Amino acid sequence: MQYNNTVAILGANSAIGQMLANQIGGNYPLLLMDGSTENLTLLKQHILTTHPSAQVELIACSKDASWEADTIIIAAEASADQASIASKINEVTTCKTVIQIRYASADSVSIQPLLPYSKFVSVEWANTAAIVEGNDEVSLSITGEIVHLCGLKPIFKKSLI
């Protein structure tokens, strides 16, 4: 595991957002953000039950969560929601790892152009493996570890650029 790398999960109420939070909650400090804080409260309680020493904070604003995090995971299910999140956090992602979860079965669009100054990683999520694509070695390492903690095999693909 990298140093005390704080991870923000934006779209934490999505199926993958919840799974990510549950699987990595014992390994990384988490900042959870989504529209419905009621469901996030239940998710936080579940993580703390499973991982009593976990550090989990609920944040109402995607920009604030991104500002405080070292690694940002955009796990919203709809491409339009991901693009909306990316436009809101653009100015606070400079030199930060931003991971876009793209669903293998869906028509998703890369949000990389909206986050030009981040260390962008795209993850195409499937049932047993995830295709990980990006340029920054440290960001790829962090992403590979997160994917592995979720029980998937990371498959690294040639860089986006």
Tens digits of pLDDT across the chain (161 residues): 445 799 999 999 999 999 999 999 999 999 999 987 778 999 999 999 999 999 999 999 999 999 999 999 999 988 889 999 999 999 999 999 999 999 866 677 889 999 999 999 999 998 899 999 999 999 999 999 999 999 999 999 866 55
Q: How far apart are CA 98 and CA 138, in angstroms?
A: 12
pTM of the model: 0.94
Structure tokens belonging to residue 76? 């919203």
Question: What is the per-residue pLDDT for 142?
Answer: 95
Question: What is the per-residue pLDDT for 108?
Answer: 76
Q: What angle do CA 84, 148, 15 make, to 5 degrees?
A: 40
Q: How far apart are CA 30 and CA 12, in angstroms?
A: 10
Q: What is the DSSP string of 10-75?
A: ETTTSHHHHHHHHHHTTTS-EEEE-S-HHHHHHHHHHHHHH-TT--EEE-S-HHHHHHH-SEEEE-
Domains and CATH numbers, the chain: 7-157 (3.40.50.720)
Segment holding 125, helix H or strand E: strand 119-125
